Structure formats: structure tokens, C-alpha cells
Chain A
Amino acid sequence: MSKPITDTLPPHTVSTERIALVGNPNAGKSSLFNLLTGLNQKVGNYPGVTVDKKVGTLHLPSGRSLQVVDLPGTYSIFPRSSDELVVADQLLNLKEESFQAIVVVVDATNLERNLLLCTQLIDLGLPIVLVLNMADLVQKRKISLNTEVLRRELGNIPIVQMNARRGEGLNTLKNKLDEVIDAPLGQFYDPHSAAAEAVSEVKYQLGCQNYYQAYLLLHYGDSLTFLSPAEKKLLQNCKDQFNFNAEALQVEETTQRYQQIDQIVAAAISTPEIGSSAFTEKLDQYVTHKVFGYLIFFGLLLLIFQAIFAWAAAPMDFIDLMFGKLGTWISETLPEGPLTDLLAEGIVPGIGGIVIFIPQIAILFAFITVLEESGYMARVVFMMDKLMRKVGLNGRSVVPLISGLACAIPAIMATRGIDDWKDRLITIFVTPFMSCSARLPVYVILIGLVVPEKTYLGVFNLAGLVLMGLYLLGFFMAISSAWVMKKLIRAKSQGFLIMELPAYRWPRWGNVGVTVLEKSRAFVFEAGKIILAVSIILWVLASYGPGDAMQQAEEQIIQLAQQDEALAESLDTRIESARLQESYAGQFGKWIEPVIRPLGYDWKIGIALITSFAAREVFVGTIATLYSIGDTDSESTIKSRLRNEINPETGGPRYTPAVAFSLLVFYAFAMQCMSTLAIVKQETRSWRWPLLQLLYMTIAAYVAALLVYQLMS
């Protein structure tokens, strides 16, 4: 045997005392975390993965405070998703100071499956406190539970009975955490007898606490972040040298553990034979019914969509107004100069452009949390899985796709519920094709411009039909892109759906509130940074021009205005328009004209395409400024001004039906939203996907707009 390489490890990083919460999904872990820490919590990210790292502070009766880390829910220590890998990564870490205690939260009505993870943690020799959650349900279902037997069978670990939703048992748990928690005495699986040489070698070489830790390192060494390349190589060599058959060992281990758990459960618990929950079974007959099930689901969707659209409108208008006023106040109060302009016209509207999404994000996540906490979301996945799988998506893609109709940003944040990485990526990639609410102002103006007022069969308004057609076009594009991606992306593993259908429960409003706060905060601070930066760049491009071209244009307008009274009346907006034409953005517009000419656009539309990259609805504002309308609130002014705009080449109107439909299709498909790119970067942890998405959507938009224009003109 060679010299152990543990000698070269860095010294333990000093930190405050930490405890971790571990448990199965649906065991009530997040309720307990909120109960322990209140609002003293921070959500960050584990390095390199999009897994929420929730950390909070717990104050103990003795005055000590502990840091509480809420680890993602998992059914075992064998990681399969990035969430589960975080749990293994944290609990197996040899190099950081370990946790003072591991609070294992289990659903007491479902001990058998919940104890699997618990026995694995016991074998790791971790200082465990077992929380038997849902004590109320245990009583209600007349389950008799002997905690003394359970404690003894599990190696004398401390056990606390709780109802985390109501806060019962909290003090007992706090008092327990104030004591020193000893490592458990029991051992369930003996890896040394299963793979003696490999585990002995690893335990010695890496300085593991016990054989089970060494055994898990052998299993998952490749994916654990705290191991150095040398250590990973050593683990690989050990596996090869001693024929470590990972899969066979895991099957053997899981089977053995369940045999022992069966005996423990038999000794400690007697359950009257009434099945699980009669209420849940009855409700499921309706909720997953082939007619009622979909009716309920689409009813709920309608409500959510309506809420995001309608309820968010007032706070969004208010935010818009406030930031508008703030900008005006700044430009009037502070001394004139480029810095004031940057602040008033670049930074303040930029921050406003971030904050304005908060109402939609908050409303969507309030609904999603309620649906998840109540157990309904699992049924949606169950009902939609087959349909979605046909196009390369997954039952869990439904909610993000539908939410995309309101806004792609919260929708993409909502894809975190999809555990298969390929399915999640495809969902993120195609969601921006769903027609979001920012496209609506563009659609409304252009449709109003070229679609005649006609009604069919008394109720079907032609403009409304065109609008619906655009929404369907977006949906169709999303679905067909997903199908293409399904064929293109090769996944390491075949997707699967093995999912618990939890019993129905009332959601806890506290948890809903905390989630809404977290999601809004994450959006403002993560994606917000990028949005702000791009806003400032766009402002600079629209406010500055090469040489003194902008200055000259302004002076020319002023001179003209001295002779023309009509011009003098709208002088400010005329100047603004002339300056924008000469700015860098204007130059870009002229520069890209040859590229967009085949679509029927001129350089003015080009400027609008560039500025509306910040957000689609900016298109309307830019067009308004360019054609010197000034007041963008009144749609009819914009419409009539656009209608009168003459194409100098043909002498006819600029906005022919061909041009308008070409633009409509362009906006239906084009990415044209930097906030979406920012959130995709945040969620996929790389620039690769947002850039690919930008390229793909722009090409799709260009080709489609080209076809429409060429066919129609």
C-alpha cells in the first residue's frame, strides 16, 4: 500500500456550528426548516449546479445559535439527480468541518420507505436526530407506534415526535439539539464483507471515518466535488483492481436494508388495515378522471393565467409609474449632464424593467406552491406525462409551458421541478416560443393596423382570430422544436417517472409566502444584474452617436422649427426622433437594413428591432419616438401615424399587410428578450444554451418572416 494522500489535504475550514435537515420529499422538511429558522434564511446556490441552497439560523434555548442547512429531498444516499448529488456531496465531505447534527425528517405514516435513507445515514456514523413528523396523522389513522422500540432498534438514536405543520414538538427538538448528539451505535449493512479489499484500501488511503463512507466514495467518487483529480483516479483504480461491481452491490444493499427495516417496523408499529388515506383515494377518482380531471386542470390553468394577466396589471402599472416619476424627478433635480441622463434614462428604467416582473413572478409561484403543497401537482404530472412524452417533454413541463403564456421568466424558473436534465433543458429551450404578455402590445398595434374589422358568424372577430392564430403558432413552434430536440440530444440515461403521489393536504400559507419571497429575491438579484447591464448598453447606444452627428441633427430641426409653426409645437419629440436616427442605435439600424430588407423592413424598423431586444414591448415605444408621436399611451395615434407612413420607394403605405404580418411572425418567434436570456443563463449555468437559443429563435423568426413577406407581397 502506498502512503495515504490525506496528509496533503487543506486544514479544516473553520465555520460556525452547522446542522443539516435531510429527508424524503413530502416528509415535511421545508415546513420544519421554516419553523426552525422563520425568515432568518438565505437562498443561494450550490457551486456549479442549479440547486437551491437554503441556509438559516436557529436560536436555541441556551442562547447558542446554529446554522441550519436544508438539503434537497432524497429517497436514498445514492444520487441520481443534481439535487440528490448535493446531499451526498455534503454528507460525505471529508474535508469540511462536519455537521454537529443531522436532523432526519421522516413521515411517520410511511416509515418503511422513509427509514431506508435513515439507516444509510446511521451506517455513515453521522450524529442523527430522528424527527417522526406527522404525529397527528399517526393518531388519526390509529397507528400505534412504539418509539422506545424504534430508538433501540435504530441504535439508540434520539427520536422526537412532531407535527411540523402546527409547530408541535418544536421545543423538544430544540432542547435535543442543545445537547451533544452522539454517533449512532447500530450498523445495518456491512460493506466490508461485500467488498473487503476495495473499501479497506479507500478507507486507509482517503482517511474515511468508516467502511460505509469509503464504500459510497467508491460508488460516487466521480461526481463528488470535494475530491481532487488524484483522489478520483485512486478510486477508479481501486474499482478496477478489486472488481467493484457497483450496481450489483447497490441492489444487494437495498434489499438487505429493507429486510431489516421490515423487522423493525413489525416490532415498533402496528397499522390497522384500512389502506392509506380513504379521502385521497376518493378524491383521486375525480382529480385524475379522464373528463373531470382535465376539466379541473384547465379550469385551474385559466384561473392562474387570468391572475397573472389581470391581477398583476395594477401593481405593474404602479411600478411603471413610480419608476417613470423617479426618472423625471432625477432629471429635474440633479444638475444636467451625462451622469444624470444615465441615471434617469438608463439605470432607473433598467431597474424598473426588473422590478416590474415581480408581481407576475409572485403570483405564479404562489399558485405553484399551493398546487405543490396540496399534492395536486403530482397528479398533473401523472395526467399529462403520456401526452408530453410524445414530443420529448415530460409531465412536469406542462406548468412551465402554460406559464410561458404570461411571461417566460417565472416559467423558466418553474422548470426546476423537472428532475431529468434533458427534459428540463428542452422545456427551458422551447418555453420562450409561447406567446408571452409582452408580445401582446406589438400584436395589438400591428393587427389593428392591417386586419380589417370583420365579424364572422356574429361572434368571431377577425382580429381576434388572427391573435389566436399567433398564440397557436407559438405553441406549435414550441412543441415541434421540442420534438426536434428530443431527436437531436442524446441523453446518458433514458428518462423515467417514478414518483410518489402524496396524500392531499391543506397548503401551509407560511410556506407559500416564504417561497414567493425567495423566488422574487432570486430573480431580482440573479437575472437582474444582467438585465441592468444590457439596459445601460442599449441606453448608451440610443443616446450617443458618432462625432457630432446627433448635435447637427438637433440644430437642423431647431432651425426648421423657426420657420414652421406646426413643427415647433412638437419640437421636443422631433428632436428626440432626429437624435435617435443619428445615434449608434440608428447607425446600427441603417447598417442592418440590407439584412432586413428582404423581410420588408426599413432602417427605422431596424432600430426598433434593436432596441426591443431589451423587451418586446419596447418596439411600440421606439416606433413612437421614431415617428415623433410623443405620447405612446394613445394607440390610435400610433396606429394612424403608422398608417400614414409612406414607403419612399413605392409611394404606397410603409405598413402594408405583408410588412405587418412579416413583423407579427417575427415577434412570435424571435427571442427579443434579454431578461429571458439572463434567466436561461442562470438556470443552465452556462452561456451556451441562451446563445444557442438566441441563434435558433432569431433564425426561425427570420426565415418565417421572410416567407410571409415574400409570399404576401
Chain B
Amino acid sequence: MKTLAKMRPGERRVIQQLKPSSVSIKLLEMGLLPGKTVRFNFSAPFGDPISVQVAGYQLSLRLDEADLIEVA
């Protein structure tokens, strides 16, 4: 399934689920929950980390972390 890490700038998708990992709770806490819409804003100059819009604010995370978030 497509993950947040593979989205393009401006693209909006709905989060399906989070792959289990040690940072899952941190991601949930920051508002990356199944059912939420997430928009890909832009990536840093070397492609990593990325900036996304979720729950009404701007969040940045590394590609490794974004790859844990499955979207549709």
C-alpha cells in the first residue's frame, strides 16, 4: 500500500493505518491517525525530512517515519 513517504507535493490522502513500530505512539500523538486527511507540503532540500499538513498544523518527519503511515 502507498505510504506518506511516497506522496507528491500538494497531494492529499486519507491515513489508513500505521505499521507497528517504536514511534507509532509518537505519530498518533501528533495527530497522524487512521481516518485523518494528510497533505504533503514539501520536502527538505535533500529529499528528507518532509513537511506535511495534518490536524490543522504543519508537521515534519523523516522518510523512515513517513513510510510507516499507509495512505489511500
A positions within 8 Å CB-CB of B: 75-76, 78, 80, 109-110, 112-113, 116, 247, 250-251, 254-255, 258, 271, 275-276, 280-281, 284-285, 288-290, 293-294, 378, 382-383, 385-387, 493-494, 496-503
Number of A-B contacts (CB under 8 A): 107
Contact residue among A258, A289, A293 (Cβ-Cβ distance under 8 Å from B31): A258
Known: A75-B29, A76-B29, A113-B31. A501 touches B51 (CB 8 A): yes
Chain B residues with CB under 8 A of A280: 58
Least Cβ–Cβ distance between B58 and chain A, in angstroms: 4
Interface size on B, as a range, is: 20 to 34
Evaluate contact between B59 and A501: CB separation under 8 angstroms. Answer: yes
Evaluate contact between A498 and B26: CB separation under 8 angstroms. Answer: yes
Evaluate contact between B28 and A254: CB separation under 8 angstroms. Answer: yes
A-B contact pairs, 23 of them (CB 8 A): A75-B29, A78-B29, A109-B56, A110-B57, A112-B56, A251-B24, A254-B29, A271-B56, A276-B56, A284-B41, A284-B42, A293-B45, A294-B45, A383-B44, A386-B48, A387-B46, A496-B23, A496-B64, A497-B49, A498-B27, A499-B61, A500-B57, A501-B60
Residue of chain B at shortest CB distance from A271: B56
B 34-58 to A, binary, CB cutoff 8 A, 1 in contact else 0 = 1000000110111111010101111
Known: A110-B56, A386-B44, A386-B48. A497 touches B28 (CB 8 A): no
Known: A280-B58, A386-B44. A112 touches B25 (CB 8 A): no
Least Cβ–Cβ distance between A87 and chain B, in angstroms: 13
CA A385 – CA B51 in complex, angstroms? 13
Evaluate contact between A288 and B45: CB separation under 8 angstroms. Answer: yes
Evaluate contact between A385 and B65: CB separation under 8 angstroms. Answer: no
Least Cβ–Cβ distance between A688 and chain B, in angstroms: 27
Residue of chain A at shortest CB distance from B51: A501
Residue of chain A at shortest CB distance from B28: A254
Identify the interface centre among A78, A258, A493: most chain B CB within 10 Å of its CB.
A258
Chain A residues with CB under 8 A of B46: 386-387
Chain B residues with CB under 8 A of A258: 28, 31, 33
Chain B residues with CB under 8 A of A250: 25
Evaluate contact between B51 and A80: CB separation under 8 angstroms. Answer: no
Chain A residues with CB under 8 A of B31: 112-113, 258
Evaluate contact between A290 and B45: CB separation under 8 angstroms. Answer: yes
Evaluate contact between A499 and B60: CB separation under 8 angstroms. Answer: yes
Known: A288-B45, A386-B49. A378 touches B29 (CB 8 A): no
CA A386 – CA B61 in complex, angstroms? 11
A258-B31, A500-B30 are known contacts; what are 4 more A-B pairs with Cβ within 8 Å? A113-B57, A276-B58, A284-B42, A387-B46
Evaluate contact between B51 and A284: CB separation under 8 angstroms. Answer: yes
Contact residue among A251, A294, A501 (Cβ-Cβ distance under 8 Å from B25): A251
Query: Shortest 9 CB-CB distances between A and B: which pairs?
Result: A290-B45, A501-B58, A254-B28, A386-B46, A112-B55, A113-B31, A386-B48, A110-B57, A76-B29
Least Cβ–Cβ distance between A23 and chain B, in angstroms: 14
Chain A residues with CB under 8 A of B25: 78, 247, 250-251, 254
Evaluate contact between B42 and A75: CB separation under 8 angstroms. Answer: no
CA A594 – CA B55 in complex, angstroms? 68
CA A131 – CA B70 in complex, angstroms? 35
Contact residue among A80, A109, A290, A382 (Cβ-Cβ distance under 8 Å from B60): A382
Is there a chain A Cβ closer than 8 Å to B62's Cβ? yes
Evaluate contact between A385 and B44: CB separation under 8 angstroms. Answer: yes
CA A250 – CA B48 in complex, angstroms? 28
Chain A residues with CB under 8 A of B28: 251, 254-255, 258
Evaluate contact between B58 and A500: CB separation under 8 angstroms. Answer: yes
Known: A288-B42, A387-B46. A255 touches B33 (CB 8 A): yes
Contact residue among A276, A382, A494 (Cβ-Cβ distance under 8 Å from B44): A382
Evaluate contact between B62 and A497: CB separation under 8 angstroms. Answer: yes
Evaluate contact between B59 and A80: CB separation under 8 angstroms. Answer: no
Identify the interface centre among B26, B47, B55, B64: most chain A CB within 10 Å of its CB.
B55
Chain B residues with CB under 8 A of A499: 59-61
